[in-house]
Amino acid sequence: MKKYYIRTFGCQMNINDSQKMGGILKTLGYEPAENWEDADVILVNTCSVREKPDQKVLSALGDFKKIKKKNPDAVIGVCGCLAQRAGYEILQKAPFIDMVFGTTNIHHLPKLLEEAQSGNKAVEIIEDIDENETELDKYPVVRENKYTAFVTIIRGCDKNCTYCIVPTTRGKERSRRIGEILQEVQYLVEDGVKEIHLIGQNVTAYGKDLGDVKFWELLYAINDIEGVERIRFTTGHPRDLSEDVIKAMADLPKVCEALHLPIQAGSDRILEAMDRGYTQKEYLQKIELLRKYMPDIALSTDIIVGFPGETYEDYLETIKVLKEVKYDQVFAFKYSPRPGTPAENLPMTEDPKTLSKWLNDLILMQKDISFEKNLAYEGKVVEVLVEEQKEDGSLVGRTRTNKLVHLEGRNNLLGELVNVKITKANRFSLEGKTLKDINLTVI
Ligand code: SAH
Ligand code: SF4
Ligand code: F3S
């Protein structure tokens, strides 16, 4: 059997696209290779959100080039956001690549692969959105996790934040039809999936382009599907997070009490320069509302440090928000100018060394807050979906609030929702015992 290897960079959208590409290749008779050295097809699914991922892609390609020595017929393909934005440039820098395609024509992979295997360069980058892109949705996915699955509900983004490349690499917002989403969820449930994770660059904008359906209505519809045990969604935009959505989250038993709500910066001046469409106060009001409806909700966010024009005072506003909200998790990065974005040529106000210090200080401070949040779980009983068994036999699962929990191993718990008493909090995970095990010990 021929083998494939996919290296994925970037966000949930790319992960799901890679799972679909695995599905396409499976349909074509391929199986996954353990190592890239054994593959007949290598695909690099790229991200372009900051400069670093761009560089990582080129260095990975440098490694993969070596496969041609061992297997001259092997095909190396590059796809994803960097390919969409700069596919021809990558081809120039790495001329050994056989195949390049963008983010909206992934369903053409069979045709492109055939072309590449016949010895031609297979390059297809479509500027506009491919009109048949939803063909991709018909393919199965190859997932590592048996019990949780991503479902793409909306593609692209209309927000045009001034620093962001995503609207260029992913195009305008396109919501998938509700019937098709529900059908995919149904199929996944039949395949043993317990947790449905709805994804998009901006899921809270779901339905705007369809006219008569709202994101919260989709949540209700999925909650009604028998066999679905948990629902999550990523990423919501603060501007589109309405009280209706928050109410639905609180009202629907299957929707988990966890939300990733990127703020990006605390200073109103910087938020305006980023064109985020909210002030610090408006953002904090949404957090207050979330906590009013769901007092135990776990919150996470994204931060950009050093957007052009950001002063130390502006940065302190971000720190203030982190101290006030006390997020469970924060993903913080230094600002990186992206080609063609409105902010690209704005002058930087601080030198890179100062920005690194700001970023490190912020990460250190948040580390303590995250630990404090985890410590509050000690002694509590929480519901855990057991997702994986490690080689040493131990089990790993997640709470509804998306915390990783390590448990003593027992095969028959895989895929089960169990009540777990948390015995120890670590910085990045929790440890616990199932209530059943505790009762056994007592007896
Ligand atoms: N759609 C999501 C996030 C998409 S990109 C949202 O709006 O929240 C993921 C994260 O990458 C962003 O939240 C942002 O924090 C970061 N990011 C995007 N462009 C960036 C840039 N030019 N420099 C640094 N970080 C960036
Ligand atoms: Fe980028 Fe802003 Fe869209 Fe998020 S909302 S993908 S940060 S443009
Ligand atoms: Fe990266 Fe594209 Fe996602 S730029 S963050 S992989 S949408």
For residue 25, give every residue at least 6 positions away whose Cβ sits within 8 Å of its Cβ, in sequence order, or none.
4, 41, 109, 142
Instruction: Return the structure tokens found at 157.
Output: 């983004």
Distance CA 252, CA 223 (A): 7
- ∠ Cα 335 64 54 (to 5°): 10
CATH topology of domain 381-434: OB fold (Dihydrolipoamide Acetyltransferase, E2P) (2.40.50)
- Ligand 3 close to Cβ of residue 166 (< 6 A): yes
- pLDDT tens figures, 291-348: 999 999 999 999 999 999 999 999 999 999 999 999 999 999 999 999 999 999 999 8
Give the position of tokens 């018909």: 138
Q: Which residues, in sequence order, are CB contacts of 163 under 8 Å at separation 6+?
A: 274, 304, 307, 335, 337, 338, 341, 343
The pLDDT, as a whole number, for residue 439 is 67
The CATH homologous superfamily for domain 133-375 is tm_1862 like domain (3.80.30.20)
Question: Three-class SS of residue 261?
Answer: coil
Band of the pLDDT at 253, cuts 50, 70, 90?
Answer: very high
Q: Which fold has domain 3-124?
A: Rossmann fold (3.40.50)
pLDDT in tens, 366-408: 999 999 999 999 999 999 999 999 988 899 999 999 999 999 8
Domain ranges of the chain: 3-124, 133-375, 381-434
Question: pTM of the full predicted structure?
Answer: 0.95
| 157 CA closest ligand 2 atom index | 3
pLDDT at 278 over 60: yes
Spacing, Cα 162 to ligand 2 middle (Å): 9
Instruction: List C-alpha distances in Å: 351 to 266, 317, 347, 365.
Output: 20, 19, 11, 22
Question: Which residue CA neighbors atom 1 of ligand 1 most closely?
Answer: 201
Which of the ligands is closest to the CA of residue 335?
1
In the numeric block, which tokens belong to residue 308? 């052009």
